[in-house]
Amino acid sequence: MTDLTELTAVQLLDGYRKGDFSPVEATRASLERAERIQPEVNAFVRLTGEEARQRARESERRWRRGEPCGRLDGVPATVKDILLMRGHPTLKGSRAVSPEGAWAEDAPSVARMREHGAVFLGKTTTPEYGWKGVTDSPLSGVTRNPHDPSRTAGGSSGGAGAAVSLGAGPLALGTDGGGSVRIPASFCGIFGLKPTYGRVPLYPASAFGTLAHVGPMTRDAADAALLLDVIGVPDARDWSALGPPPGSYTEALSGGVAGLRVAYSPSLGGQVAVRPQVATAVRRAVERLAELGAYVTEADPDFAEPVDAFHTLWFSGAARVTQHLGPHQRELLDPGLREVCAAGARYSALDYLAAVDVRMELGRRMGRFHESYDLLVTPTLPVTAFEAGAEVPKGSGHRRWTGWTPFTYPFNLTQQPAATVPVGRDGDGLPIGMQLVAARHRDDLVLRTAHALYGAGVPGPVTGVRPGGS
């Protein structure tokens, strides 16, 4: 018998079309899986089972009539608890956010998925306000890695990454302000895409400004392209959203990589110490790109680590998002977040503008870089998943999460599309990710290249362990 929790969204839709199984069956299987993994992995803030079952029944009736309402009709999906979802509180991992209120509005990406018939299983966990690269919060506790529950799932979209990896819905919405889609996707062994800034509208606007992207977290690149086709359209509530996409990302998948100019940067010019097993897995995947016809050159983008500028922008955003809180509410915050907010409140307007200058120069350099190369390839992270409940790996000497994410946050500064593809596992069975980066607006190249790698069998198994004997 087919295990419906192992299928991609594309495969589920094909099965619905053929009558092999139904949205009700797929939703039931996904909810059962979500309930089974929750005690050990803690991927969800809340499950919305009854609502999901009702939407699945409605979808099943449409499929029986041969009249699906959209491109995702009946596909189980999850939403990170940073994004608004109508009828349910969005608490952002914080005890300082009141659940009271009407909660009557969907975020743009959620609204588009709803219009296309997606079945929402629930809201996934996040660190408080999405502030760090791992997922634990005073509100919902620690989210654990699906491949080893003693390790972190990464963050800040850690619940989404764990849910997809363990079969609790093939589609997930995450957010990424410094790697928050790519980090957990890499640690959990799935595909994650940070689209070009503005391709997926965001409302309400993020306190982290134009660093924050909304992106798909999926079982493969084809599912991500399908989801981006749905959510990557304008919404009047986001003044910075891009216009209509140039074409279908799904249709662009088939181009292959032959002739693409690929720059492979194993350590950003020696700036990053990468664990040997990570470096080896990424190099093998790069060699596979060359075998598929890409022109691969070992080359580094010309920039120094922009961490100070990123901290100025990121910490200032954190200070802004918590500015309205009173003393009692501040005591409820994650202690690390309180430190970051205090640092952010000390920056001046001139400090902020100096960081913007660094950002603009970095964007200029990457724009020139992509005149010579279609894609930049790096490890997604220099490490694999470390102990759960810690912001940084033990003994690393890092103070903040940005110390172990040097490959991800620079491309939030530049607003480029960037994705992570699973390319193997380390000696402990933990996933390793490879990052693909393209020039702004070339999301199609990132997806096309990832799809070619999946077709060539490069990614390792997507699924993690099955907590509870599942």
Residues 6+ apart with CB under 8 A from 276: none
Q: Write the CA distances from 285 to 84, 108, 253, 326, 456, integer angstroms.
A: 37, 35, 19, 50, 10
Helix (H/G/I), strand (E/B), else coil: 123: strand
In this structure, which amino acid lies at residue 232?
A: G
What residues are annotated to the active site?
80, 156, 180
Beta strands in 91-244 (DSSP E): 119-124, 136-137, 141-142, 144-145, 148-152, 171-176, 191-194, 213-218
Element (H, E) at 134: none
Residue of 258, 260, 232 whose CA lies nearest to 246: 232
Residues 181 and 157: beta-carbon distance below 8 Å: yes
CB atoms near residue 27 (< 10 Å): 27
**Cα gap 212→173, rounded to integer Å:** 13
- Residue 87 phi/psi, 5° resolution? 90, 0
Residue of 279, 297, 248 whose CA lies nearest to 447: 248
In this structure, which amino acid lies at residue 39?
A: P
